[in-house]
């Protein structure tokens, strides 16, 4: 008999039955990874879960958690003469406080280039020595090591016209902020598989030890996610809480020491702004003193401007798990993937985009 695979419907059905057997209380779990968001919706898992299991989408989409003030700064940066912005494509359509985006700025003549790797920004810098090429560093611990390596490469190549606008966010402090909000009532975390390949398990242990909540690292197939939910339910049944690695084919308990080493070499932790969550201490990455000459804001004398929230947009509440996307009055009406009002509808990993595409 062939071995069941993660795509096997029979395996998923068996895991669903096991989950129902293990559950002895309602359970509200939150995922904090955009890939998990899409997988859960695309796989139809929400409709299959027992009625006592509630899925909350969290702040796992890098573009979505980028703060209004940061987006406003991107647009102001685009107005600077002699500046070329290098960015990943999913930032291009994120609306700023006045509804304008980098896509609008580009159409109006700003020099904005979509790149597929941070190293592409160095190519731009070499090709345009008369300009300052600013890479917009948005993302979590998954992408930050590649950006750190790019800074080291810029130094090695003597590309002094390269600069970094670091808006990187760190996942563990965000989880701590969510747990500290009693209104969220989060029972368990489905930990991000990609981030955990870098961090390992240790940075998440506070979830179990300080807050007595299960936290399980999972892969992205339906069976991966259902297995993680079974582990959560078992922890509640046994009354013993821990961080579990249910994704050992990709994640080691110790993470990736080399990736963390390059992060520590180039970056230091700093306070950061998150959409919906506000200011979270030591939840961001800023350049270490040895590399501060690559800091775009310092070099160009810019600050994060004050800005108003996007009118009517409820992305912040969606990211905190306090609102489902279809509870936003703009969802599917004024706000669609073709005409996004907020970032959760822009990104393919955004909760609103996934709900619009798969959830109705």
Q: Give residue-wise pLDDT tens across range 6-39.
A: 668 899 999 999 999 999 999 999 999 999 999 9
The size of the chain, in residues, is: 360
Give the DSSP per-residue string, 82-141.
Answer: TEEEEE-GGGTT---TTS--HHHHHHTT--EEE-SSHHHHHHHHHH-TTSEEEEEE---T
**Alpha carbon of residue 25 to chain centroid:** 30
Residue 1: per-residue pLDDT? 34
**pLDDT of amino acid 359:** 72
| Res 172 pLDDT > 70 | yes
Q: Are 95 and 71 in contact (CB under 8 A)?
A: yes
Structure tokens at 42: 């695309």
Cα separation, 84 vs 267, whole angstroms: 23
Q: Are strands 162-166 and 188-191 parallel, antiparallel or unpaired?
A: unpaired
Instruction: Report residue 192 as tokens.
Output: 């991000």
294 close to 133: Cβ distance less than 8 angstroms? no
Q: Would you tell me how many other CB atoms lie within 10 Å of the CB of residue 282?
A: 14
Model confidence at 307, in pLDDT bands (50, 70, 90)? confident
Is the pLDDT score of 249 beyond 90?
yes
Closest alpha carbon to 176 in 251, 62, 254, 283: 283
Neighbours of 360 (CB within 10 A): 9
Backbone angles phi, psi at 54, to 5 degrees: -115, 130
Question: 131, 163 in Cβ contact below 8 A?
Answer: no
- Tell me the per-residue pLDDT of 53-72, one tens digit each, with 9 for 90 and over: 999 999 999 999 999 999 99
Q: Per-residue pLDDT for 2 more than 60? A: no
The answer to whether 288 touches 268, Cβ cutoff 8 Å, is yes
Q: Give, as one character, the DSSP assignment of residue 4.
A: P
Do 63 and 347 contact (CB within 8 A), yes or no? yes
pLDDT digits (tens, 9 = 90+) for 73-123: 999 999 999 999 999 999 999 999 888 999 999 999 999 999 999 999 999
Contact 335, 99 (CB under 8 A): no
Question: Quick check: 226 pLDDT over 80?
Answer: yes
Please classify residue 265 by burial: count the beta carbons closer than 10 Å to its beta carbon, then call 0-12 exposed, 13-18 middle and 19+ buried: middle
Q: What is the pLDDT of residue 71?
A: 96
User: Among 38-42, 230-234, 256-260, 262-266, whose mean pLDDT is lowest?
Assistant: 38-42
Domains of the chain: 1-304 (3.40.50.11750), 315-359 (no CATH)
Of 173, 199, 206, the closest CA to residue 283 belongs to 173
Q: Which pLDDT band holds residue 181 (cuts at 50, 70, 90)?
A: very high
Pairing of strands 83-87, 132-137: parallel
Chain mean pLDDT for the chain: 94
What are the DSSP E strand ranges found in 177-314? Answer: 188-191, 215-217, 243-245, 267-274, 278-287
Quick one: pLDDT at residue 3? 47
Per-residue pLDDT at 310? 83
């Amino acid at each position: 008999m062939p071995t069941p695979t993660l795509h096997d419907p029979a395996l998923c059905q068996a895991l669903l039955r096991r989950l129902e057997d293990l559950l002895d209380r309602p359970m509200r779990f939150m995922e904090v990874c955009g890939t998990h968001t899409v997988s859960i919706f695309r796989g139809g898992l929400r409709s299959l879960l027992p009625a006592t299991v509630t899925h909350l989408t969290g702040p796992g989409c890098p573009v979505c958690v980028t703060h209004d003030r940061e987006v406003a700064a991107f647009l102001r940066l685009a107005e600077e003469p002699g500046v070329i912005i290098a960015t990943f494509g999913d930032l291009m359509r994120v609306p700023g406080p006045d509804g304008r985006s980098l896509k609008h700025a580009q159409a109006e003549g700003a020099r904005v280039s979509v790149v597929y790797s941070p190293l592409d920004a160095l190519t731009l810098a070499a090709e345009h020595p008369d300009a300052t090429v600013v890479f917009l560093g948005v993302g979590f611990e998954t992408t930050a090591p590649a950006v750190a390596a790019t800074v080291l490469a810029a130094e090695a190549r003597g590309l002094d016209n390269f600069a970094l606008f670091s808006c990187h966010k760190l996942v563990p402090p965000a989880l701590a902020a969510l747990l500290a909000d009693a209104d969220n009532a989060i029972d368990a975390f489905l930990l991000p598989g990609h981030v955990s390949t870098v961090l390992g398990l240790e940075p998440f242990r506070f979830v179990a030890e300080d807050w007595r909540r299960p936290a399980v690292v999972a892969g992205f197939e339906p069976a991966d996610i259902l297995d993680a939910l079974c582990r959560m339910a078992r922890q509640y049944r046994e009354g013993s809480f821990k961080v579990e690695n249910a994704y050992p084919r990709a994640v080691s308990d110790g993470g990736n020491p080399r990736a963390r080493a390059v992060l520590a070499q180039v970056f230091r932790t700093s306070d950061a702004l998150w959409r919906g969550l506000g200011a979270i201490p030591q939840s961001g990455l800023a350049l270490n003193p040895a590399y501060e000459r690559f800091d775009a804001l310092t070099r160009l004398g810019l600050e994060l401007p004050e800005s108003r929230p996007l009118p009517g947009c409820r992305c912040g509440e969606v990211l905190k798990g306090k609102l489902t996307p279809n509870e936003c009055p703009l969802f599917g009406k004024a706000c669609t993937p073709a005409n996004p009002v907020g970032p959760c509808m822009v990104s393919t990993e955004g909760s609103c985009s996934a709900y619009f595409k798969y959830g109705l």
